[in-house]
Amino acid sequence: MTPKLTPEQNAREKTDRKLIASRWEIQDMKTLDFSLNPGIAVREYHTDA
């Protein structure tokens, strides 16, 4: 059985699928590598604000 996702998790999953379909690379901040692809999305990038 698949665990129920929160609305935020559902939105993130949907966004990730669209980015991947558009050939974007989705990366975590700890393993960020700008040389992999010209289109890069960073998961959970924290700002000072």
pLDDT score at 44: 78
pLDDT score at 46: 76
pLDDT score at 39: 94
Instruction: Report strand pairing: 25-28 vs 40-43.
Output: parallel
Q: What phi and psi values does residue 19 have, to the nearest 5 degrees?
A: -65, -45
20 HSE (CA, 13 A, CB side): 8
pLDDT score at 2: 60
pLDDT tens column, 38-49: 999 998 777 786
- Please report, in tens digits, the pLDDT of each residue of the chain (49 residues total): 567 989 999 999 999 999 999 999 999 989 999 999 999 999 877 778 6
Q: Look up residue 4 and give its amino acid.
A: K
